[in-house]
Amino acid sequence: MERYCGIIKPKARSKSQLNTSLANTIIIAEHLNHTQFTRTALLATTGTQLSFPVLLDRFSPCLTELQQRSLQLHLYRDIPDRIEGYRRCQLRQDLLIGSLYSQRQSDLNRRDYRVCFRRPNYHTEFGEIHHFIRLPYFGDWAWIQEIKGIDIDKQKGVASYGRVASHRWIQIQWIQSLVGVIEESGVKLIVTDIDLFE
């Protein structure tokens, strides 16, 4: 209960109408939490099939010089003028991925931006997603900061990592799953539903 009070306390902004302000904010938050079910129900009634990935929570991106150069290397041509930025991505029916742009201070315990991904003909890699973009005719991309120093101990069944490293673009369809991190005695252990020990 104390934790929930800590979450909702900063949401009360009006001094004169405190109760109304708090109630409206909680209702809006719950509406946003339930939009995914509304979309699923709507699709079921209309009979149309939802194609994944679905990019959510749009914003106007301002790509840095590094991001632009890196993207040009992937595309082998100039970047299109129209780029759409997104904070979240629903990869499939049961997997919603966030980004650093989607995190709020009250969500410190919910780090839904760490992922494992696999490029064609490569082993599983890890990264922290900063944001997503959609390029007309060139697909959907994620700007990530790679997680390096991966140590997979097959005997103990434990995977850990050393540090976050350089930034790069990856295609969204390469993403396999979310990754959790547990810090134990200075060691960062990786938790995921992907089998890393095969």
pLDDT tens per residue, range 94-129: 888 989 888 765 544 467 899 999 999 988 899 999
Model pTM score? 0.70
DSSP 50-61: PPSPEEEEEE--
Distance CA 191, CA 22 (A): 36
Mean pLDDT of the chain: 83
Among 25, 195, 171, 181, residue whose Cα is nearest residue 89: 171
Which of the following CATH numbers is that of domain 52-191: 2.30.30, 3.30.390, 3.40.50, 2.60.40? 2.30.30
Domain ranges of the chain: 1-50, 52-191
Given a cut of 70, whether residue 36 has pLDDT beyond it is: no
R_g of the chain computed on alpha carbons: 19
Beta bridge partners of 127: 115, 146
The DSSP string of 71-134 is HHHHHTSPPPS--EEEEEEEEETTEEE--GGG--GGGTT--TTEEEE--TTS--EEEEEEEEEE
Beta bridge partners of 128: 114, 145
**What values do phi and psi take at 74, rounded to 5?**
-75, -40
Query: Tokens representing 161?
Result: 């990592």
| 160-196 pLDDT tens trace | 888 888 999 999 999 999 988 888 788 888 888 888 7
Q: Which amino acid is at 180?
A: G
- Return the pLDDT at 87: 92
